[in-house]
A and B are shown apart, each in its own frame.
Chain A
Protein backbone atom coordinates (compact mmCIF):
# COMPACT_ATOMS: atom_id res chain seq x y z
CA UNK A 1 0.00 0.00 0.00
CA UNK A 2 0.92 3.62 -0.32
CA UNK A 3 2.99 5.28 2.34
CA UNK A 4 2.60 8.74 3.84
CA UNK A 5 2.61 11.38 1.15
CA UNK A 6 3.28 15.09 1.48
CA UNK A 7 2.90 18.00 -0.86
CA UNK A 8 4.50 20.07 -2.11
CA UNK A 9 7.93 18.48 -1.89
CA UNK A 10 9.55 21.91 -2.06
CA UNK A 11 8.16 25.34 -1.33
CA UNK A 12 9.95 28.65 -1.71
CA UNK A 13 8.13 31.67 -0.39
CA UNK A 14 8.79 35.26 0.51
CA UNK A 15 8.93 36.47 4.07
CA UNK A 16 5.48 37.47 5.27
CA UNK A 17 3.52 35.18 2.99
CA UNK A 18 1.30 32.34 4.22
CA UNK A 19 1.97 28.71 3.26
CA UNK A 20 0.00 25.49 3.47
CA UNK A 21 1.62 22.08 3.69
CA UNK A 22 -0.38 18.92 3.10
CA UNK A 23 -0.07 15.42 4.51
CA UNK A 24 -1.90 12.28 3.39
CA UNK A 25 -1.41 9.58 6.04
CA UNK A 26 -1.49 5.86 5.45
CA UNK A 27 -5.08 4.74 5.09
CA UNK A 28 -6.55 3.57 8.37
CA UNK A 29 -3.94 5.23 10.56
CA UNK A 30 -5.65 7.10 13.35
CA UNK A 31 -2.67 9.04 14.67
CA UNK A 32 -0.95 11.80 12.71
CA UNK A 33 2.08 13.87 13.70
CA UNK A 34 3.91 16.90 12.36
CA UNK A 35 7.61 17.43 13.02
CA UNK A 36 10.09 20.03 11.87
CA UNK A 37 13.72 19.37 11.01
CA UNK A 38 16.07 22.30 10.68
CA UNK A 39 19.41 21.96 8.92
CA UNK A 40 21.65 19.55 10.81
CA UNK A 41 19.21 19.20 13.66
CA UNK A 42 17.00 16.47 15.01
CA UNK A 43 13.28 16.33 14.58
CA UNK A 44 11.20 18.76 16.60
CA UNK A 45 7.64 17.76 17.53
CA UNK A 46 4.96 20.24 16.45
CA UNK A 47 1.48 18.75 16.77
CA UNK A 48 -0.34 15.44 17.19
CA UNK A 49 -3.80 14.28 16.11
CA UNK A 50 -5.45 11.11 17.42
CA UNK A 51 -8.78 10.14 15.91
CA UNK A 52 -11.46 12.70 16.64
CA UNK A 53 -9.82 13.98 19.81
CA UNK A 54 -8.64 17.57 20.15
CA UNK A 55 -5.09 17.85 18.81
CA UNK A 56 -2.09 18.29 21.06
CA UNK A 57 -0.67 21.61 19.88
CA UNK A 58 1.94 21.97 22.59
CA UNK A 59 4.87 21.82 20.17
CA UNK A 60 3.79 24.62 17.86
CA UNK A 61 6.47 27.35 18.11
CA UNK A 62 4.15 30.34 17.74
CA UNK A 63 0.55 31.32 17.03
CA UNK A 64 1.52 31.74 13.38
CA UNK A 65 1.43 27.96 13.13
CA UNK A 66 -1.81 26.01 12.95
CA UNK A 67 -2.92 22.62 11.71
CA UNK A 68 -6.13 20.82 11.02
CA UNK A 69 -7.11 17.32 10.09
CA UNK A 70 -10.26 16.86 8.06
CA UNK A 71 -12.34 13.71 8.30
CA UNK A 72 -9.70 11.98 10.35
CA UNK A 73 -7.43 11.69 7.33
CA UNK A 74 -5.68 14.48 5.42
CA UNK A 75 -3.93 17.14 7.45
CA UNK A 76 -2.84 20.66 6.55
CA UNK A 77 -0.16 22.62 8.39
CA UNK A 78 -0.49 26.36 7.87
CA UNK A 79 2.20 28.91 8.62
CA UNK A 80 1.08 32.52 8.51
CA UNK A 81 3.36 35.51 7.92
CA UNK A 82 6.37 33.25 7.34
CA UNK A 83 9.74 34.22 8.77
CA UNK A 84 13.20 33.12 7.66
CA UNK A 85 13.58 31.00 10.79
CA UNK A 86 10.62 28.93 9.59
CA UNK A 87 12.85 27.49 6.85
CA UNK A 88 13.12 23.76 7.50
CA UNK A 89 11.90 20.37 6.34
CA UNK A 90 8.43 19.67 7.65
CA UNK A 91 7.79 15.97 8.16
CA UNK A 92 4.49 14.25 8.68
CA UNK A 93 4.12 10.80 10.24
CA UNK A 94 1.21 8.49 10.89
CA UNK A 95 0.68 5.54 13.16
CA UNK A 96 -1.99 2.86 13.17
CA UNK A 97 -2.67 2.46 16.86
CA UNK A 98 -2.30 4.28 20.09
CA UNK A 99 0.66 3.35 22.24
CA UNK A 100 3.40 1.12 21.05
CA UNK A 101 3.45 1.43 17.33
CA UNK A 102 5.83 2.72 14.77
CA UNK A 103 5.47 6.15 13.27
CA UNK A 104 5.78 6.05 9.49
CA UNK A 105 7.24 9.21 8.03
CA UNK A 106 6.49 10.93 4.78
CA UNK A 107 9.20 12.39 2.52
CA UNK A 108 8.73 15.88 3.92
CA UNK A 109 8.23 19.35 2.50
CA UNK A 110 11.31 21.53 2.27
CA UNK A 111 10.26 25.10 3.05
CA UNK A 112 12.55 27.98 2.17
CA UNK A 113 11.59 31.47 3.27
CA UNK A 114 13.50 34.19 1.44
Chain B
Protein backbone atom coordinates (compact mmCIF):
# COMPACT_ATOMS: atom_id res chain seq x y z
CA UNK B 1 0.00 0.00 0.00
CA UNK B 2 1.35 3.34 -1.11
CA UNK B 3 1.73 5.96 1.64
CA UNK B 4 -0.27 9.14 1.19
CA UNK B 5 1.50 12.48 1.24
CA UNK B 6 0.03 15.89 1.89
CA UNK B 7 -0.02 18.54 0.71
CA UNK B 8 0.54 17.72 -2.96
CA UNK B 9 2.22 21.06 -3.48
CA UNK B 10 3.18 24.13 -1.49
CA UNK B 11 4.65 27.50 -2.37
CA UNK B 12 6.52 29.44 0.29
CA UNK B 13 8.59 32.56 0.65
CA UNK B 14 12.18 32.12 1.70
CA UNK B 15 12.39 31.95 5.47
CA UNK B 16 8.95 30.44 6.00
CA UNK B 17 8.34 27.04 7.54
CA UNK B 18 6.85 23.97 5.88
CA UNK B 19 5.39 20.71 7.09
CA UNK B 20 4.98 17.69 4.84
CA UNK B 21 2.92 14.75 6.03
CA UNK B 22 3.06 11.06 5.20
CA UNK B 23 0.48 8.55 6.36
CA UNK B 24 0.14 4.84 5.85
CA UNK B 25 -2.72 2.36 6.08
CA UNK B 26 -0.41 -0.34 7.38
CA UNK B 27 1.84 -0.57 10.43
CA UNK B 28 5.03 1.40 9.99
CA UNK B 29 8.45 0.24 11.06
CA UNK B 30 10.42 2.90 9.29
CA UNK B 31 9.93 6.03 7.23
CA UNK B 32 12.53 7.31 4.77
CA UNK B 33 12.45 10.86 3.43
CA UNK B 34 14.08 11.91 0.15
CA UNK B 35 14.23 15.13 -1.85
CA UNK B 36 14.45 15.12 -5.64
CA UNK B 37 15.26 18.11 -7.79
CA UNK B 38 14.10 18.13 -11.39
CA UNK B 39 16.16 15.77 -13.52
CA UNK B 40 18.25 14.56 -10.60
CA UNK B 41 18.40 11.47 -8.40
CA UNK B 42 16.54 11.41 -5.09
CA UNK B 43 18.76 12.47 -2.21
CA UNK B 44 18.42 11.02 1.26
CA UNK B 45 17.24 13.37 3.99
CA UNK B 46 16.04 11.42 6.97
CA UNK B 47 15.23 7.98 8.25
CA UNK B 48 12.96 7.37 11.22
CA UNK B 49 12.77 3.99 12.83
CA UNK B 50 10.27 2.35 15.13
CA UNK B 51 11.52 2.82 18.63
CA UNK B 52 12.73 6.32 18.07
CA UNK B 53 16.09 5.94 16.38
CA UNK B 54 16.56 8.72 13.87
CA UNK B 55 19.27 9.58 11.38
CA UNK B 56 19.17 12.59 9.18
CA UNK B 57 19.82 16.07 8.08
CA UNK B 58 21.00 18.82 10.41
CA UNK B 59 18.59 21.49 9.17
CA UNK B 60 15.53 19.34 8.74
CA UNK B 61 13.63 17.47 11.41
CA UNK B 62 10.91 14.88 11.38
CA UNK B 63 8.50 13.07 13.62
CA UNK B 64 7.23 9.51 13.53
CA UNK B 65 3.98 8.54 15.21
CA UNK B 66 3.84 4.76 15.17
CA UNK B 67 0.34 4.56 16.60
CA UNK B 68 -1.13 6.92 14.02
CA UNK B 69 1.06 5.42 11.28
CA UNK B 70 2.19 8.89 10.29
CA UNK B 71 5.36 10.85 9.79
CA UNK B 72 5.89 14.56 9.27
CA UNK B 73 8.88 16.38 7.84
CA UNK B 74 9.60 19.87 9.17
CA UNK B 75 11.53 22.42 7.14
CA UNK B 76 12.22 25.52 9.19
CA UNK B 77 13.41 28.86 7.86
CA UNK B 78 13.26 27.48 4.34
CA UNK B 79 15.98 28.32 1.86
CA UNK B 80 15.79 28.52 -1.91
CA UNK B 81 17.77 25.29 -2.09
CA UNK B 82 14.93 23.44 -0.36
CA UNK B 83 12.84 23.58 -3.52
CA UNK B 84 12.11 20.18 -5.01
CA UNK B 85 9.85 17.20 -4.65
CA UNK B 86 9.81 15.42 -1.31
CA UNK B 87 9.04 11.72 -1.11
CA UNK B 88 8.38 9.55 1.87
CA UNK B 89 9.09 5.85 1.59
CA UNK B 90 7.96 3.06 3.85
CA UNK B 91 9.46 -0.39 4.15
CA UNK B 92 7.80 -2.95 1.93
CA UNK B 93 8.09 -5.63 4.58
CA UNK B 94 8.29 -5.51 8.32
CA UNK B 95 11.86 -4.37 8.41
CA UNK B 96 13.55 -1.01 8.09
CA UNK B 97 13.22 -0.83 4.34
CA UNK B 98 16.02 -3.24 3.54
CA UNK B 99 13.80 -5.15 1.12
CA UNK B 100 12.84 -2.01 -0.76
CA UNK B 101 10.63 1.00 -0.22
CA UNK B 102 7.11 1.93 -1.24
CA UNK B 103 7.05 5.65 -2.00
CA UNK B 104 4.30 8.22 -1.86
CA UNK B 105 3.50 10.36 -4.90
CA UNK B 106 5.54 13.25 -3.58
CA UNK B 107 5.05 16.82 -2.37
CA UNK B 108 6.22 19.61 -4.64
CA UNK B 109 7.83 22.43 -2.67
CA UNK B 110 8.61 25.76 -4.30
CA UNK B 111 10.55 28.37 -2.35
CA UNK B 112 10.36 31.89 -3.74
CA UNK B 113 12.75 34.74 -2.90
Contacts and interface: CB of A to CB of B under 8 A. Distances in A.
Nearest to B93: A56
A77 to B, nearest CB: 14
Given A91-B41, A91-B42, A100-B30, A45 B98 contact: no
B98 A105 contact: no
Contacts of B53: 100
Interface size class of chain B, counting residues whose CB lies under 8 Å from the partner chain: 20 to 34
B40 interface: yes
Given A43-B87, A43-B89, A50-B98, A107 B103 contact: no
Interface string A24-42: 0000000101010000011
Contacts of B100: 33, 45, 48, 56, 59
B42 A100 contact: no
B42 A43 contact: yes
Contacts of B32: 102-103
Interface size class of chain A, counting residues whose CB lies under 8 Å from the partner chain: 20 to 34
Contacts of B102: 45
Interface string B19-48: 000000000001010100000111110010
A99 B103 contact: no
A66 B30 CA distance: 28
Nearest to B49: A100
B101 A107 contact: no
Residue among A31, A101, A106 with the most chain B CB within 10 A?
Answer: A101
B62 to A, nearest CB: 14
Interface of B: 2, 30, 32, 34, 40-44, 47, 49, 53, 55, 87, 89, 92, 95-106
9 contacts: A42-B2, A44-B103, A50-B98, A59-B100, A98-B95, A102-B32, A103-B32, A105-B34, A108-B41
